[in-house]
Chains A and B, each alone.
With several copies, the nearest count.
Chain A
Amino acid sequence: MIDKRVPTLAEAVAGVKDGSTVLIGGFGNSGVPVELVHALLELGAGDLTIVTNNAGSGETDIAALIRERRVSRIVCSYPRSAGSVWFEKFWRAGEIELELVPQGTLSERMRAAGAGLGGFFTPAGADSPLADGKEVRVIDGRRHVFEKPLPADVALIKADRADRWGNIVYHSAARNFGPVMATAAALTVVQVREFVELGALDPEAIVTPGIFVDRVVEVSA
């Protein structure tokens, strides 16, 4: 029988190792798997590469991971925000490496990893210094830059509901990076507001099918 439900946040993140690449969902404060990130903090894994859109804000979740020196490298599109104090402090001190990626390319690189593709050419960034050192090719008269897949060891995602097969639906704009991150990681962990019975989710409306999900954990709002 397939049952991807785990009872605790600790079990949800169990086994994440030092040096892992971890995808963390969310855009601003929408869709961030705060409780899973705190469980990762508790677990103690360090030397992490974090792939996420923003570099944390305030004192919780991603900012806390950075503050506690668990993050050696961050791959993101927009690290700056009102409260990105810890990231900025470590970045200025040269203690955290930043790989800046245009947001569409960030998402597409994860998709390529999940889709088993070897890379793609995109016009985004091809005219900018972000293309430095990368292969640039003119296709149909337009400059394109070659971008590689971005696979990961772990994805931490927040969603709304899940069944025991790991089928997932999200809530409004909290969906954001969840579906693509689920495809790109060897271990995909999803926190949801609610477990539902198998068959309760509309098969026309399942956003992330269980094949992409390894563990689901319920976190009451």
Chain B
Amino acid sequence: MKLAPIEMARRVALDIPDGSYVNLGIGLPTLVADVVPADREIVYHSENGILGMGPAPEPGTGDPALINAGKQPVTLLPGGAYMNHTDAFVMMRGGHIDITVLGAFQVSERGDLANWATDEATMPPAVGGAMDLAVGARRVLVMTSHTTKDGRPKLLPACTYPLTAAGVVDRIYTDLAVLDVTDSGFLVRELVPGVSADELQDRTAAELTFAPDLVALTPV
């Protein structure tokens, strides 16, 4: 048993406090905005110059110029603002974003993040705003499947892919567990029911510690 993407998103959403300024990375993390509890007022930031981003417009409506970092149509909430790219990155790199949720190829037990390049050389490299976000957000959450599609571990003693940034990841939400990056490596906080500690360790290249108050990661 493992969590579906929307279940992972719901778990991440629980950790986003009311009033947070949040940047969601492209892909899986964008699901989070759809499932944040309705009583929380969250200000979403997009690197292309939007603060206070709202959901996708009704089909056939909306402003074609108003897209998010993943180039999908979005809206602006009351209280939202537009800014130029440079100022959008002042917010990111300058420590003004409370939380970013990012995808990952690999995360090391020291919190190193690799999420922009693999070791294949057939596609041109692309980086976007990932490095600025990773170094600048106050809290870096990673949302990823626990292993790659072909079952290789993504949580490692050290990343083998080129780094996005070193020592920046605070917490990881996988389809199997929630893990904190601590001074002594990965600390498992929550674990999906039906997966044993040994099974999780088997799917993880780095050595895991399990919290004394380990909680069941039950889909909500």
Contacts and interface: CB of A to CB of B under 8 A. Distances in A.
**Do the two chains belong together in a single complex?**
yes
A44 to B, nearest CB: 26
B89 interface: yes
B135 A173 contact: no
Contact of A173 (B79, B82, B112): B82
B125 interface: yes
Contacts of B1: none
Interface in B58-112: 63-67, 71, 76, 78-86, 89-97, 112
Contacts of B97: 211
Contacts of A172: 63, 65-66, 76, 82
Contact of A211 (B45, B93, B117): B45
Using C-beta atoms within 8 Å of the partner chain, give the interface range for chain A. 35 or more
A111 interface: yes
A194 to B, nearest CB: 15
Interface string A108-125: 101101111100001111
Contact of A102 (B21, B78, B129): B129
B132 A167 contact: no
Contact of B126 (A30, A100, A123, A207): A100
Contacts of A129: 117, 162
Given A27-B85, A163-B79, A212 B96 contact: yes
A123 B71 CA distance: 26
B85 A107 contact: yes
A88 B124 contact: yes
Contact of A104 (B82, B116, B122, B129): B129
A103 B19 contact: no
Interface stretch (B48-56, B182-190, B200-208): B48-56
The secondary structure that dominates the A interface is loop
Nearest to A197: B78
A27 B47 CA distance: 10
Which of B48, B66, B71 gathers most chain A CB within 10 Å?
Answer: B48
Contacts of B80: 203
Interface stretch (B145-153, B163-171, B211-219): B163-171
B178 interface: no
A174 B63 CA distance: 10
A177 B124 contact: no
27 contacts: A2-B19, A27-B48, A27-B71, A28-B67, A30-B65, A77-B129, A78-B126, A79-B124, A100-B125, A100-B127, A102-B128, A102-B132, A124-B93, A124-B132, A124-B165, A126-B135, A127-B112, A127-B165, A128-B164, A130-B131, A173-B48, A173-B65, A203-B81, A210-B81, A211-B43, A211-B51, A211-B96
Given A2-B41, A107-B85, A211-B91, 7 more contacts: A102-B130, A103-B128, A108-B89, A114-B94, A173-B67, A201-B81, A210-B79
